[in-house]
Structure 1
Amino acid sequence: MTKIRVFLVEDDEDWRRGLSAYVTKEADMEVIGTAANAADARTLAPALNPNVILMDIMLVDSMEGIALTAEISALCEAKIIMLSSLTEKQVIFDAFKAGAVNYLVKSDFGAIPGAIREAYRESSPIDAQVAEQIREEFRRLKQLEQEYEAKKLKDLITPAEIQVLSMIDQGYTQTQIADKFVISIRTVKNHVSHILKKLPGRSSKEAAKKAKDMGLF
């Protein structure tokens, strides 16, 4: 039987010893090496060529495991599973951005063998709780992006143009807008022309919808 070659990066000696024994008990796995710090991990992991690496995020009281994951991912083809007691969304998000294929909370040690097998088969399903944390982080980033884009547009579009967009969204014609604000139809057309340069679209209605979706009115 071809065994899954596992490498451990863990600075806590007791946890490292216990985890090594726990993984070794699996008939289809072998622990081919361990590292207690980032320097040893950088040297040993590429040389030993493991299939899967169990990576502790906290190394010597800092989240060095995340940066180390990015480094080792560039040096070898091992699949990296993050192990941590941290559950903050940003930490989880950063771990996956660094190249991790899964993220397990240390207290859920019973899931480790299965996660190793899934990583080895390149079919890692992300832990359900972690997946929800990632979705929340994506939603937060999307909201920030929308707020940033809206602010940029608010800085570009004049109050008069926003009023025109709001009227267009409500279904008013350009003539009706001119009558309501007691301005010429040419002035309304100029507003619309300027708006379409700032909010690209095939029509003023599309521009109005985009402005509304972004919360400009």
Structure 2
Amino acid sequence: MTPPHIRVLVVDDQELIRTGLRGILRERYGFTIVGELDTGIDVAQVVAHLEPDVVVMDVRMPGVDGITATHALTRVDAAPPVLVLTTFDEDEILAGALRAGAAGFLLKGAPAEDLQRAVRTLASGGAWLDPAVTGRVLTTYREGRPPMRPGAQVDLLTPREKDVLSLIGAGLSNSEIADGLFLGEGTVKTHISHIFMKLDLRDRAAAVVFAFDHGLARPGDPRKPESA
């Protein structure tokens, strides 16, 4: 059976960019663009109506910018993951997108294949941080986040939870982690729930940052799991 297409909402104020995204995220590649917006003003309402699997969000737009729209959207129950797509490699902007709840970011100069992989990764529950700027952005992200609560240490995790967190840091989805560690996907979800609770992590992007901070992942790590 052919898997269903990934439903994508594109939010970008430039028609030229939206045209390019239509060519990259085509049905022949397994995607369907279910809607387009040129501002972040009505994103939450449109998402509720169209139910996309992923939102591809520009940063600088008239009316409501991408970071503000991402912050509002990620506060909605069952909101789809947001991939921030921008021409700007300004660290504070991209770190701000993570703080707002984006599941990943990608520079617009990245190859088309990276955009396709990023959307697929987010649709399957993973996170995607563009390796070209990840190290710098994470440094800026750390500077602006609240202090981690006492006791939020990697030693609180079991060895298997560390394995799972390492693969989250590499950007893998739950199903990919399950395959790589020879676990059931339900077991992986249970491990992730325990990791978030033990480390007081808000979302998957925060888990990625924690994995980088504690040497469980590095910028440029492969996104395919190794055999356990």
TM-score normalised by length of structure 1: 0.59
Correspondence for 1:50: 52
Which residue does the alignment assign to 2:70?
69
1:133–1:26 CA distance, 2 compared to 1 (3 A): farther
Aligned to 2:116, which of 113, 116, 121? 113
Q: Deviations over 1:80-103 (max 9, x none)?
A: 000111111111110000011111
Query: Cα deviation per residue 1:25-66 (whole Å; 9 max; x = unaligned)?
Result: 543211111111122323212211111010000102x77110
Aligned letter for 2:138? R
- In the alignment of these two chains, the number of paired residues is 142
Considering only aligned residues, what root-mean-square deviation do their CA atoms show, in Å?
A: 2.2
In structure 2, C-alpha distance between the alignment counterparts of 1:140 and 1:104, rounded to whole Å:
21
Select the structure of larger CA radius of gyration: 1
Task: Say whether the 8 Å CA contact 1:83–1:105 is kept in structure 2.
Answer: yes
Deviation at 1:139, TM superposition (A): 6.0
Change (3 A) 1:2 1:132: same
* Counterpart amino acid of residue 45 in structure 1: V
User: What amino acid sits opposite 2:94 in the alignment?
Assistant: I
For residue 141 of structure 1, report the CA deviation from its aligned partner.
5.6
- Residues 87, 108 of structure 2: 8 Å contact kept: yes
CA displacement, residues 110-141 of structure 1 (integer Å, 9 cap, x when unaligned): 21100001101112242223320233225656
Structure that is richer in helix per residue: 1
Aligned-partner residue type, residue 21 of structure 1: G
Residue 109 of structure 1 and its aligned partner are, at CA, apart by 4.2
How far apart in 1 are the matches of 2:26 and 2:95?
A: 30
TM-score, length-normalised on structure 2?
0.57
Cα distance between partner residues in 2 of 1:72 and 1:121: 19
User: What amino acid sits opposite 2:117 in the alignment?
Assistant: G
SS at match of 2:115: helix
Structure 2 residue runs of 5 or longer lacking an equivalent are 148-228
Structure 1 residue corresponding to 2:104, chosen from 80, 102, 105: 102
1:1-217 equivalence runs, <5 A? 1-60=3-62, 64-75=65-76, 76-110=78-112, 111-138=114-141, 140=143
Q: Is the 8 A contact 2:92 2:141 kept in 1?
A: no
Moved over 6 A (4+): none
Any conservation in 1 of the 2:41–2:69 contact (CA below 8 Å)?
A: no
Cross-structure match for 2:199: none
Amino acid at match of 1:124: A
Distance 1:67 1:125 in 2: 20
